[in-house]
Amino acid sequence: MAPTPPSPSSPGSRLRVPFERAIDHCRVFVEGRRLPGEYVPSSALKETREHPGGFVWLGLHEPDEAQMERVAEEFGIHPLIVEDAVTAHQRPKVERYDDQLFLVVRSIRYSEEEKVRDSREIIETGEVQILIGKDFIITVRHGANLPDLSNILIDDPEIYALGPSTLAWRAADYLVDEYSRISDLLGEEVDALEEEVFTPGSRFNVEQIYWYKREILEMRHSTDPLGPALKMLIIDHKDLLPKQVRSYFRDILDHELSVKDQIGGYDERLSALIDASVAKITMQQNTDMRTISAVVGMAAGPTLIAGIYGMNFENMPELKWEYGYFIVLGIIFAFMVIAFFWFRRNDWL
């Protein structure tokens, strides 16, 4: 009798995604130029050993643990890096494992689509993990996009002949440039909010300010820790990064600090807008209450008079007056006119 195959829910039947499914690309660079074609990791490493000074760029997209362990076997990666590479949602950081550097940079995407803006989630974050070795660089994407950086190598191959750290610089530079672009777009949104709040007589939704403040806070969580990480990379790991590459990373640091200041400024401006909008709403409510009170006050006199003459007592001498009805109407009208002009003079109406 043939053995019963394991059920799909049993541990032994767990499907393994092929290793190749996680690979975006595997390319070889020699003397700053990309060799034609795509490689598998084993053949790529063999090619670099035949060309001293060459390196491999392996791009991965959300690998699982089994796929990352296979990469670790091929490239000799530390087990802790494997664990971090599989786990997403990490803070920007720099870690060193012997002669390997592990850099995490958060990616930010700003959505201008109306459908997404209606859902009030215009800032989406991802993660790019960069592992730099002596003759390889591995980039791992989690919810992030990277351009084809190898196309830029044609412009200045001498720079990329410095080693795989130049591609790490290019990737980080692209992500921080996106920070700057998104920061400018958020600045326009904050300017529009300020104009709306401080325009006399304008009606606005204070929840929109809280919404933007939440989105900017999410961006700060992704960008602020990158500054200290880049400083550590530049100062503490000079032996693994060429001097020229360190200067490029220093330029990225300047851009990141500029974005950090801008985003911090937007956060403070939004806090001030919340205070101003709450004060404006309170003043508007006070004005509305005064208007309501004035209208009620104008109606109080006629209500009092009508209440007295509606009591139906027989011994009320005014009931016998021939023109009593018209006199009462005249008194009511005069009271309302006097009350109206008095409230108008005191800016209650």
Angle at 246 between CA 240 and CA 247, to 5 degrees: 165
Predicted confidence (pLDDT) per residue in 173-186, tens digit: 999 999 999 999 99
Q: Which of 9-18, 86-95, 197-206 has the lowest mean pLDDT?
A: 9-18
For residues 230-248, give the mean pLDDT: 92
pLDDT of residue 10: 39
Quick: pLDDT tens for 203-215: 777 888 888 888 8
pLDDT at 169: 92
Q: What does the buried/exposed string (b/e) look like for 330-343 if buried means 16 or more CB atoms within 10 Å of the residue's CB?
A: eebeebeeebbeeb
For residue 146, which of 40, 41, 60, 255 has the smallest C-alpha distance?
60
Domain residue spans of the chain? 19-279, 285-346
User: 113-127, 257-271, 294-308: which range is least confident on average?
Assistant: 113-127
Taking the model in full, what pTM does it have? Answer: 0.76
Confidence band for 12, pLDDT divided at 50, 70 and 90: very low
Cα–Cα distance measured from residue 302 to residue 289, given in angstroms and rounded to the nearest whole number: 21
Record: fold of 19-279: Beta Polymerase; domain 2 (3.30.460)
Count of other CB atoms within 10 angstroms of residue 225: 17
The per-residue pLDDT for 14 is 44
Cα–Cα distances in angstroms (integers) from residue 65 to residues 24, 40, 79, 83, in the given order: 17, 19, 11, 8
3-class DSSP state for residue 347? coil
The side-by-side arrangement of strands in the sheet containing 55-61 is: 33-34, 23-30, 55-61, 136-142, 123-132, 100-110, 93-97
Predicted confidence at residue 262, as pLDDT, reads: 93
Residues 96-117: pLDDT tens digits? Answer: 998 899 999 999 988 865 444 4
Judge whether residue 314 has pLDDT over 60.
Answer: yes
- Look up residue 163 and give its DSSP letter: -
Dist. CA 336–CA 1, nearest whole Å: 103
Q: Find out if CATH 1.10.3720.10 is the number for domain 285-346.
A: no
pLDDT of residue 113: 57
Average pLDDT, the chain: 83
Q: What are 307's two structure tokens?
A: 């209440």
